[in-house]
Structure 1
Amino acid sequence: MATATGQGDIRDRLGIEHPIVGFTPSEHVAAAISRAGGLGVLGCVRFNDAEELDATLDWLDANTDGKPYGVDVVMPMNAPTEGSAIDLSTLIPQEHRDFVDRTLEELGVPALPGGVAEGAGVLGWLHSVARAQVDVALRHRPALIANALGSPPKDVIDEAHAAGVPVAALAGRVVHAQRQVDDGVDIVVAQGHEAGGHTGEITSMVLLPEVVDAVGDRALVLGAGGIGCGRQVAAALALGASGVWMGSAWLLAEEYGKGFPGSAAMQDALLHASSSDTVRSRIYSGKPARLLRSRWSEAWAAPDAPEPLPMPLQNLLVAEAHLRISAAEDPGVIAMPAGQIIGRFDRIRPVADMMADLVEETRTAIARLAAF
């Protein structure tokens, strides 16, 4: 499959067959993407415990047929504070706690049997934990370390480079991409407004060529946001990208259901969603992120709802709520990052089938464009 020129070939740089990078919180999906010739990137924010991440990466080492994989950490550039979950919890207003409790009750979301540990779901959003995750990852064989919130600190980049591992960062504006490359980032993921999760205000069609023109002579650029089929992969390549970064598409992978409570309800909600059934809000983490629209998101948009807190306080506030929502398995009350591309998916399939269709349709689209 042809790719744009620039600082080499993303396939050679990452040791992959196809210029397709797939982000996912599921190690089963990540492994399947890598086995199919792409690069599966495991989202690490759900891991509060270094030993749990270490064991998961052991599993990836053993289940990727020797193919490369990557890891994605979350290092907020401007976190309001750092400390234990108990310390952070003192900064959350009682008004916000009362709102969450009242909303869960109104939505019929039951409590978890036995409750949850203090700080569950928040520690992975802290610098100290993200750094520990990088240290754990480098004891394995990642082909890439990515930061979902921009450029990692310089010492983290240096640590990865010393181990021979390239670093990627997501950017929503040209100025962010330029700063990242100046810091030593090797791969910029230009993520447009359409994308799921943390995303900016500029659409992919505008952002991607701007980023390629600004930094494409110094770093590889991947297109992200609104990519779910081969025609969209070809479009990203035509705009100058060296490859694509996909996230939301893999939520409908058959492998996603392994080990994730509430995955059946989430996939059911996605199957019935259109491209207009997402909302960009700060309710998930404190930073703007695109989520599946649901009764949970609508409650936060009501006039009497409090303003979301800054990161990582908002995540600490809603961490238990998200666990309860997942366990409730109600498709109408999903709290899940998802991009506008979800409107084109109508079935659950194995990753291998999804990847085969992506590659074939990309080749067909490129051949058709060549006729012009």
Structure 2
Amino acid sequence: MRTEICERLGIDVPIFAFTHCRDVAAAVSNAGGIGVLGAVGFTAEQLEVELAWLDEHVQGVYGVDLVIPSKYEGKGADGLSPDELEAKLAEMVPQGHRDFAEKLLNDHNVPHLPEGEHHHQLLGWTATTAGPQVEVILRHPKAKLVANALGTPPEDIIKQVQDSGRLIGALCGSVKHALNHKRAGLDFVVMQGTEGGGHCGEISSLVLWPQVIDAIGDLPALAAGGIGNGRQVAAAMAMGAAGAWTGSLWLTVEEANVPPAQMQSYIEATSHDTVRSRSWTGKPARMLRNDWTEAWEKPENPDPLPMPLQMMVALDGVKRGHRYPEAAKDVNFNPVGQVVGLMNKVERTADLMQRLIEEYLESCERLNKLNNG
């Protein structure tokens, strides 16, 4: 199971775990894979705290996931600080969208945040805000991998990361995007099928993976989208993947910083309960269907805005939902893939890692028996 990318990163197994929780990232890395911390929700100062904690608690290496879309409102606004860009973009958000989001939350009796509690509206959804995050990453020697969730990273960021001896890659949902990543000189590609949680394309994993692998040749391709057990890891590796990029299944581990009400929503959900929606971020993302996603789909209501404007509308709902998950149960942001139908219990991260490896080996043994007659 040890592939070339394992050798380059110094990890035991090619299991990559995207998570917004540092405890999960550390547990995966310490179990032989590599935890990849999602940075989009952190300012540069907050990311410094998270990575310093990971430096202390990770025995080997870890990764960081950025969100720098190829296309977004405000792209090219050179010379503006993150605060200036946020103020400029805030002026582009129609008040009607903010009023609609506020009414949705109020109609569901979701309490407001405590008075005086401030949060940024923009977060790390642009090159301007991601640049300071990259500077933080490069100060932490155990952060050996950087991934971009939406599109090919800017040329200067690719150079910065590679010149520091780190690997940099990006997610893709089509062959076209994968080839763009290869032409830009990235070190790996994450090919995510439409089954995956969060931002995803329209092509299923079983169709996408072999197409991308054939198109990009010897560039390492990590399989993502619908991987929830070792059998699926084995299937991806059999098609030529260099590893498995997982995300959703780490939402229901003991170490996950997921409120109990939200975790219960994941455990109770079936694979039929997800939907691709632009209602939170402005780009199609897979999540649990609920009153929030349904409301933004109705023709008489406002259409979701482009990224990052829609998240500037929705972020108050994210924050209120995280603080008051019981009240926000029907309007919460629950990004997750179709694999949620397999996520029906809570288990320790180390146990889940062990299960993935054992199921992978069992699958390989089953195929060997078939091949040997």
TM bucket normalised to smaller: over 0.9
> Is 1:40–2:35 an aligned residue pair?
yes
The C-alpha deviation readout for 1:67-95, integer Å capped at 9, x for no partner, is 11000111011121154322211111122
Secondary structure of 1:256's counterpart equals coil
The C-alpha deviation readout for 1:288-340, integer Å capped at 9, x for no partner, is 11111122212222232211000110111111111112222133332121100
Paired letter, 1:62: E
Q: Is the 8 A contact 1:322 1:335 kept in 2?
A: yes
The C-alpha deviation readout for 1:240-295, integer Å capped at 9, x for no partner, is 101110000000011013xx5xx212101001100011110111211111111122
Aligned to 2:72: 79
Q: Unaligned stretches of 5+ in structure 1?
A: 4-8
Q: Identify the match of residue 366 of structure 2 among 357, 365, 368.
A: 368
> Is 1:320–2:321 an aligned residue pair?
no
Distance 1:333 1:265 in 2: 12
Q: Is the 8 A contact 1:251 1:267 kept in 2?
A: yes
Distance 2:116 2:49 in 1: 25
CA apart distance, 1:153: 0.8
Aligned to 1:229: 229
Q: Is the 8 A contact 1:286 1:310 kept in 2?
A: yes
Distance 1:119 1:167 in 2: 27
Q: Is the 8 A contact 1:269 1:332 kept in 2?
A: no
Q: How many residues align?
A: 359
Distance 1:2 1:166 in 2: 17
Q: Is the 8 A contact 2:275 2:288 kept in 1?
A: yes
Q: Identify the match of residue 63 of structure 2 among 36, 60, 70.
A: 70
Distance 2:321 2:292 in 1: 9
Paired letter, 2:253: A
Aligned to 1:333: 331
Q: Is the 8 A contact 1:86 1:118 kept in 2?
A: no
Aligned to 1:58: 52
Paired letter, 1:303: P
1:162-173 alignment, distance < 5 Å: 162-173=163-174
The C-alpha deviation readout for 1:106-149, integer Å capped at 9, x for no partner, is 122111111542534x2211211211111110110211010001
The C-alpha deviation readout for 1:152-200, integer Å capped at 9, x for no partner, is 0111111111100011100100011011111011110000000001100
Distance 2:354 2:132 in 1: 36
Secondary structure of 1:222's counterpart equals strand
Q: Is the 8 A contact 2:274 2:289 kept in 1?
A: yes
Distance 1:216 1:23 in 2: 25
Q: Is the 8 A contact 1:79 1:311 kept in 2?
A: yes
Distance 1:2 1:69 in 2: 17
> Is 1:180–2:181 an aligned residue pair?
yes
> Is 1:288–2:284 an aligned residue pair?
yes
Secondary structure of 1:84's counterpart equals helix
TM-score, normalised to structure 2, is: 0.93
TM-score, normalised to structure 1, is: 0.94
Aligned to 1:21: 16
CA apart distance, 1:349: 1.1
1:1-372 alignment, distance < 5 Å: 1=1, 9-48=4-43, 50-65=44-59, 67-81=60-74, 82=77, 83-114=84-115, 116-117=117-118, 119-120=120-121, 122-141=122-141, 142-217=143-218, 219-257=219-257, 263-330=259-326, 331-371=329-369, 372=371
Deviates more, 1:90-99 or 1:16-25: 90-99
Q: Is the 8 A contact 2:195 2:205 kept in 1?
A: yes
Distance 1:80 1:233 in 2: 37
Q: Is the 8 A contact 1:116 1:320 kept in 2?
A: no
Distance 2:217 2:249 in 1: 26
Distance 2:95 2:69 in 1: 25
Q: Is the 8 A contact 2:65 2:149 kept in 1?
A: yes
Paired letter, 2:20: P
Distance 2:368 2:300 in 1: 55
Secondary structure of 2:255's counterpart equals helix
Distance 1:332 1:231 in 2: 33
Distance 2:126 2:119 in 1: 15
